[in-house]
Every structure is written in C-alpha cells, then in structure tokens.
C-alpha cells in the first residue's frame, strides 16, 4: 500500500515537471524573441502630443513641411484615445521608415490640471500599446502647449516602468505653460509645485529643449513667457541638457508655433535623427547623386 | 566517531542550544505561513512572478489584487519582521531556562529590539530598520538573550523586589537607545554592487573564484540567519548581466558573452535550488532517508515553498539554522554545484544563463530558461540535485542518530 502511494507521488511529480519544463520552454522562446526584436529594433519614432482643444490632425502641416524634399518621408500614425480608454489608430508605418511620427490625441482635450493628469494616464495607455506594436527601444517626443505638460506628468509618473528597456532621447516642448497663466514663478500653481517636487523621477540622460514663441516681449499672445521659462525649475540641473530657445517673427503666435519654419528647423536639427549621408558621399561609385543635396 | 556523536548530543542538550531550538520552534508556524504567502504573492499573483507569467494568472483570476494585498500583509507581518518574534522568543526561553518570569522577559526583549531598530521616517511616523527586521534574526536572538540574562542577574540579586524589576528595564532601555543612537540600524551589507564591479574589472578566472567565495559566504551567512552578499533571486539589472544579455541578443545566442561567471550564471542557476544550500536536495534526502516523523512532516510542508526557492520553512523547521550537523552539506553542496557548472561552461558544453527569468522560477528551470532552453543545462541541473541528495544523505542519517541518542539520554535523566 505504501509503495503504491510513493509511486503515485513520483508519477505526479514527473508529470508536473514535464509540464513545467515544456511551458517554461515555450515562454522562454517567446520571451527571447520579443527581447531580440526590441533590442535589435532600429525604429526610433517621434511621438507628438498636441495642446488643449486640438485634435490628432494638429501636426499635419508640420509633418508635411518636415517631409518636403525628403527622399525618405516620415510616416504619420495617429492615435486618438477616447474617454472610455479605447485607442483608435489611423495611418500606418511605411516599410523602410525607421522614424515614423506618431501623434497621440485625446477625446477629452480640455485645459486644466485635472484634465492633464487624466490625459497623461491616457497617453500611458497609448504608449504601452505602441511599445507592443512597434517594439522600439528608443524614441523622441514633442509636445505643443499642454502636450508638454502631459509629457512632464508622464515622465514623472509613468515612464519609470519603461525606462530600463525604452530610452527617451529628446524632449521638445513648444510654448508649454509650465506655470499656466502666471507670469511670475512667485505664484506657483499646484501643477508646477508637483512637477518640481517629483523632478527626481525624470531620466537624467534626457536632453530637453523648451521653445517659446514671442509675439510681444513677454508673451506669445496666449502664454506668458515667464510661464514657459518656469520649465527650468523642473528640468535645469536634472537632465543632461536643458536648452531654452525663444522664437520671434512670423508664425510666432502660440497657435502658429507648430508650423513655424524656425521651429521646424530646430526639430530637424535637434530632435530627428541625423540624416544618413546621401549614398554618393559614402560610395563614390553610386551614380544617382548630387541634385538631392541641399 | 562515537565521541563526535556524544559531543554533538551534549551540545544539543546545552542551554544555548535549547534556547535557540525552542525559539525556532515557535517561529516555525509563523514562517511557514509567511513563506506560503510570499510565494503566492510574488510568484502567483504579481505580474512578473513565474506562475503569473506562465499562466497569466493576474489576468483571469477574480479578486487578484485583493488576494495579492492580503498575501502582502501576511508576508510583511511574518517573514518580513521575523526578527521581532525571534527577540521575544529568545528572551522568553532564556528566562525559562533560568526559571524566571518568562513572559516579562519576552516583553522586555521585544522592547529592546524595537528600540534598537527604530528609525523614524521623514513624515515622523514610527518606522523600523527593514534590514534588522527581516534579516537581523541573529542580532535579535543575541538581544533577547542578553536582556533576559540582565533580568535574571537582577532577579537573583539582594535588591528589594521593586528595584529587581525596574532597574534592569531602565538599564536595558538606556543601552538599547545608545545602540540605536550609535547607528546600529545603519548596518547593511551593500556588497551586491561591489560584486558586479569586481566581476567586470577582473579576469574570468579571478571572477570565478570571487563568485565561488561570495556564494559560499552567502550560504554560510544564511546558515547564521543573516542575509549574505547574493540576494535570493537574480536581478538582471546589474551591469554584467545587462552586458551579457545585450551581447546574447546581438549574437542571437548565449554562447559568446563577456562575463561567463557571475552570481546569475553560477550561483542562482545552479547553487540555489529550493533556496540557499540547495534546500530542495535536503527535502528529498529527508523524505527518502529519514525515519523521524517530525522531520518528514516538516519536509512535506516545505515542498511547496521550496519549489519556488523559498527555504524558510526548512531553515526553521528542521532546523538548519545554527545546526552544526547540516553546516557542512549546506555550504559544500552549492559549492560543488558551482564548480561543476563552471567546468561545464569553461568546456563550452553549456552556455551561460543570460536571459531574464521571472521571479520565483523553480531552481533547475532558472538555468534552462536563462539559456533559452539548453537541454544539457536542464540535465545538468537534475544531475546536480541527485548529487546533492547524496551529499546530504549521511548527514540526514547522522541527524537521525543524534536525535535518537539525545532522546535516550533525556529519558535517563
């Protein structure tokens, strides 16, 4: 009787072990495939968030201008997050494009700190889904107006769980009112205080560019210059590089900033990956050459 | 041989041993439940746990978060502050050995340990050193014992009855506050980062000896209930692991990586089956060779946690802690495992385990998953377990003999 019991347990444990081994093997193969895909991915998207009251179409002009005269245009993918946490994708990744532009917009695109916190959570949902679909290991971001605030919230609250696998290289905020409509940091809004309090969570390897538009000497017509400049209290000394740039001249009004030619130039220079040198400079035998050089 | 046996029996019957054994006995049920909760929480209900990953448990189990919370509470109040109970037990049983008021001694011991590990947090709320609470069992035993001895000394003195109680408590409070002030709470073994940098800066052969040494130190320290340089599960975030992983992903296979000998590739993959000291082998050895119903019973309870590398029930139940009989196999078995594994890696028979494994992956599967399913690694793991069972065998028999003889002598008294 005792013998039977012993054999029973031995058989049970052998069956269980074999099951565990095969399940583990399956899992391990899948996991390594995913890791390899992620590690060897050459994809490096630029993810943009528009400001309040704007839709996912906000950057269409910007992307058109970026793609002008570009032999390898950036694909444009749009993600709209509705208030029920659902994601709606449009556009697709063109084959051979390693630097797609992804715009994430929200159904609830209203102003105010509470909405920004909600939008940051929605952005996190979209971002998680994007990382799964496109398996990129680094990315760059641009936020216009409140988009920059949503990114700051995202970096301080959600990014830590990705940071070991997916590296954020550059952040550009365009006319982002870090202190809302306050002209002076003597009156800190709740949001700015929170941003400063949690700045340690922002990755220290990041390069940040804060671009301000100036229509008058102290405003872009909507956002006070002092509010944009308040970003330094969050980023300066925390990230690797923090640069503030103010732009004036035509299209320097708050809402025109995304299609301002100077800003597009800045994006080309600081945010996008350096263009691979045209083939003719690398390979003299290539006949298809010169006219494309700017 | 007979003399060693008799000596061990004598040791077994000394006051010190009795105090420690009795304390461990009251800790055992707490630790057992705690280890079940720990395994359920971190391996079954948390997303990056082994069972959770394999079966997607958190995604379909109803009330997963609630269960996770409950298991967390149980874990934190048992295993995570086990030293607290140890301080109480040590003080209680010391006083009992000296035939004094044991309950009072227990309370005083508990208080002394709380004072020593007190560390207010930034909000000013009372908080206690995590290291002392969870890994400071040895310190707790000493604190409890000393408190009790002070109480006993005063209890036997010529002072009048009131002073006999108040004076020692005052002295103990002052002494433990001083210890707290001197920063004993700051004690922490911060070796892991050092291990990583050593492995990177030295040649492979030096790194090998270093990992073997640190592994042995870890086993030795956990035999004394102190956390050693290597943590209980591989982290995969240290620099050599990242470098290994990155090299393997680039090459598409784990055969050519910069650091073949690290705590992950040797210690966690081959020397930690069922927890430190290859506890899984001890359980099997006891189930096969031991005739003591108590030990067999403890081993059966300990199987479930040990599958997921949780060795607490065995450490306290048998007990392995402070047990001179099991010290040798507890240190030697993992060492032999690491040496054989290192040999296999050097001869390029198996690759290094570089891919990350989920938390609580059963011992022999760590190397298997870590090499992305190298069959020889799995076979080697199973072979090593059998070898370790054979290493433990004579000691299990010796332990049986000693407890039989200790029992006989007890009856003669």
Consecutive 10-residue runs of chain A (294 residues): their mean pLDDT?
85 92 92 86 92 90 89 90 92 88 94 93 94 90 94 94 89 93 88 93 93 89 91 93 91 89 91 67 42 40
What are the residues whose beta carbons fall under 8 Å from the beta carbon of A111, sequence distance 6 or more?
A52, A53, A146
Q: What is the pLDDT of residues B258-287, one digit of tens each?
A: 888 888 889 989 998 998 889 999 999 999
The pLDDT value given to residue B342: 94
Report, in this order, helix, strand and coil percent for chain A, each rounded to 5. Answer: 45, 20, 40
The pLDDT value given to residue B50: 93
* Residue A18 covered by a domain: no
The pLDDT value given to residue B3: 74
The pLDDT value given to residue B146: 94
The pLDDT value given to residue B132: 79
Tokens of A90: 């449009």
Q: What is the pLDDT of residues B362-409, one digit of tens each?
A: 988 999 999 999 999 999 999 999 999 999 999 999 999 888 887 765
The pLDDT value given to residue B170: 93
Q: What is the pLDDT of residues B303-332, one digit of tens each?
A: 999 999 999 999 999 889 988 889 999 999
CA distance A164 to chain B (A): 9
The pLDDT value given to residue B224: 87
CA distance B8 to chain A (A): 33
* Residue A207 covered by a domain: yes
The nearest alpha carbon in chain B to A37 belongs to: B249
Using CB atoms, pick whichever of B245, B356, B368 lies closest to residue A24: B368
Coil/strand/helix, residue B71: helix
pLDDT band at B39 (very low <50, low <70, confident <90, very high): very high
The pLDDT value given to residue A11: 93
Q: Mean pLDDT, to the nearest integer, of B73-96?
A: 93
Question: Mean pLDDT in chain B?
Answer: 87
| A24/B369 Cβ within 8 A | yes
Coil/strand/helix, residue A223: coil
Give the CA angle between residues B183, B186, B187 to the nearest 5°. Answer: 110
User: Are B185 and B127 contacting, i.e. CB atoms less than 8 angstroms apart?
Assistant: no
Would you give the DSSP letter of residue A226? H
Signed CA dihedral, B224, B225, B229, B235: sign only: positive
User: Residue A148 belongs to what domain range?
Assistant: 44-273
Among A135-144, B130-139, B190-199, B208-217, name the most confident range: A135-144
Whole-prediction pTM: 0.76
| B373/A25 Cβ within 8 A | yes
What are the residues whose beta carbons fall under 8 Å from the beta carbon of B165, sequence distance 6 or more?
B104, B154
Q: What's the domain count of chain A?
A: 1
The pLDDT value given to residue B411: 46
* Residue A23 covered by a domain: no
Tokens of B396: 């299990």
**Confidence check: pLDDT of B7 > 80:** no
* Residue A13 covered by a domain: no
Ordered strands of the A76-81 beta sheet = A87-90, A76-81, A101-106, A46-49, A138-144, A167-174, A207-213, A241-247
What are the residues whose beta carbons fall under 8 Å from the beta carbon of A158, sequence distance 6 or more?
A120, A121, A124, A127
**Confidence check: pLDDT of B5 > 60:** yes
Task: Label residue B144 exposed, middle or buried (CB < 10 Å: 0-12, 13-18, 19+).
Answer: buried
Contacts of A24 in chain B (CB under 8 A): 54, 361, 365, 368-369
Q: Which residue has the higher pLDDT, B240 or A243?
A: A243
**Confidence check: pLDDT of B192 > 70:** no
CA distance B371 to chain A (A): 9
Q: Mean pLDDT, to the nearest integer, of B354-363?
A: 90
Enumerate chain A positions whose Cβ falls within 8 A of a Cβ in B.
20-21, 23-25, 27-29, 31-32, 35-36, 39-40, 164
| B372/A24 Cβ within 8 A | no
The pLDDT value given to residue B184: 56
> Any idea how long chain A is?
294
C-alpha span between B354 and B234 (Å, rounded) = 10
CATH number of the domain residue A61 falls in = 3.40.50.1820
pLDDT above 70 coverage of chain B, percent: 91
Flag whether the ipTM exceeds 0.85. no
The pLDDT value given to residue A156: 94
| B356/A29 Cβ within 8 A | no
Using CB atoms, pick whichever of B53, B249, B362 lies closest to residue A39: B249
The nearest alpha carbon in chain A to B236 belongs to: A164
């Amino acid at each position: 009787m005792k013998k039977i019991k012993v054999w029973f347990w031995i058989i049970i444990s052998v069956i269980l072990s074999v099951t565990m081994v095969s399940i583990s093997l399956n899992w391990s193969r899948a996991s390594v495939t995913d890791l390899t895909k992620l590690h060897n991915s050459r994809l490096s998207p630029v993810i943009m968030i528009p400001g309040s009251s704007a839709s996912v179409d906000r950057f269409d002009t910007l992307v058109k201008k970026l793609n002008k005269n570009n032999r390898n245009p950036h694909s444009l993918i749009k993600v709209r997050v509705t208030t029920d946490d659902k994601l709606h994708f449009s556009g697709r990744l063109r084959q051979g494009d390693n630097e797609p532009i992804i715009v994430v917009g929200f159904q609830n695109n209203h102003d105010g700190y509470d909405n920004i916190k909600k939008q940051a959570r929605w952005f996190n949902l979209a971002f998680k889904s994007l990382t799964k679909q496109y398996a990129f290991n680094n990315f760059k971001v641009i936020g216009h107006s409140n988009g920059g605030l949503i990114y700051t919230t995202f970096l301080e609250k959600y990014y830590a769980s990705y940071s070991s696998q997916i590296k954020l290289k550059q952040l550009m905020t365009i006319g982002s009112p870090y202190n809302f409509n306050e002209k002076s940091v003597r009156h800190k809004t709740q949001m700015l205080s929170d941003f400063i309090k949690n700045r340690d969570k922002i990755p220290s390897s990041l390069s940040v560019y804060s671009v301000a538009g100036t229509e008058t000497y102290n405003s872009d017509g909507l956002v006070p210059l002092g509010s944009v400049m308040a970003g330094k209290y969050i980023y300066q000394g925390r990230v690797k590089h923090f640069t503030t740039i103010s732009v004036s001249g035509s299209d320097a009004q708050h809402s025109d900033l995304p299609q301002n030619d100077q800003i597009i130039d800045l994006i080309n220079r600081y945010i996008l990956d350096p263009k691979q040198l045209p083939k003719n400079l690398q390979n003299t035998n290539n006949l298809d050459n010169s006219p494309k050089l700017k | 041989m007979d003399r060693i046996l008799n000596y061990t029996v004598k040791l077994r019957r000394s006051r010190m041993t009795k105090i420690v054994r009795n304390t461990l006995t009251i800790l055992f049920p707490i630790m057992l439940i705690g280890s079940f909760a720990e395994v359920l929480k971190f391996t079954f209900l948390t997303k990056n746990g082994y069972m959770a990953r394999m079966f997607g448990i958190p995604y379909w189990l109803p009330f997963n978060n609630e269960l996770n919370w409950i298991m967390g509470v149980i874990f934190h109040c048992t295993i995570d502050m086990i030293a607290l109970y140890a301080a109480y037990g040590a003080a209680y049983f010391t006083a009992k050995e000296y035939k004094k008021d044991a309950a009072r001694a227990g309370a005083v011991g508990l208080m002394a340990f709380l004072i020593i590990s007190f560390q207010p947090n930034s909000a000013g709320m009372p908080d206690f050193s995590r290291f002392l609470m969870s890994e400071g069992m040895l310190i707790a035993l000493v604190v409890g014992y000393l408190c009790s001895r002070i109480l006993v000394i005063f209890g036997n003195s010529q002072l009048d009855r009131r002073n006999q109680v108040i004076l020692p408590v005052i002295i103990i409070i002052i002494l433990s506050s001083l210890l707290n002030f001197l920063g004993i709470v700051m004690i922490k073994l911060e070796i892991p980062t050092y291990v990583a940098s050593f492995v990177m800066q030295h040649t492979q052969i030096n790194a090998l000896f270093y990992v073997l040494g640190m592994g042995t130190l870890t086993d030795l320290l956990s035999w004394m209930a102190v956390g050693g340089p290597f943590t209980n599960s591989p982290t995969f975030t240290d620099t050599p692991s990242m470098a290994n992983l990155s090299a393997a992903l680039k090459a598409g296979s784990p055969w050519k990586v910069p650091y073949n000998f690290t705590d992950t590739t040797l210690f966690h993959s081959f020397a930690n089956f069922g927890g430190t000291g290859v506890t899984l082998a001890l359980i099997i050895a006891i189930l096969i060779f031991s005739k003591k119903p108590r030990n067999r019973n403890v081993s059966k309870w300990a199987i479930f946690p040990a599958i997921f590398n949780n060795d607490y029930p065995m450490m306290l139940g048998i007990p392995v802690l402070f047990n001179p009989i099991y010290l040798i196999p507890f240190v030697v078995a993992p060492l032999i495992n690491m040496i054989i594994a290192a040999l296999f890696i050097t001869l390029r028979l198996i690759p290094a385990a570089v891919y990350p494994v989920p938390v609580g992956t059963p011992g022999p599967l760590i190397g298997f998953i870590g090499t992305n399913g190298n069959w020889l690694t799995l076979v080697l793991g199973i072979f090593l377990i059998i070898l370790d069972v054979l290493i433990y065998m004579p000691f299990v028999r010796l332990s049986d003999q000693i407890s039989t003889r200790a029992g006989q002598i007890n009856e003669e008294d």
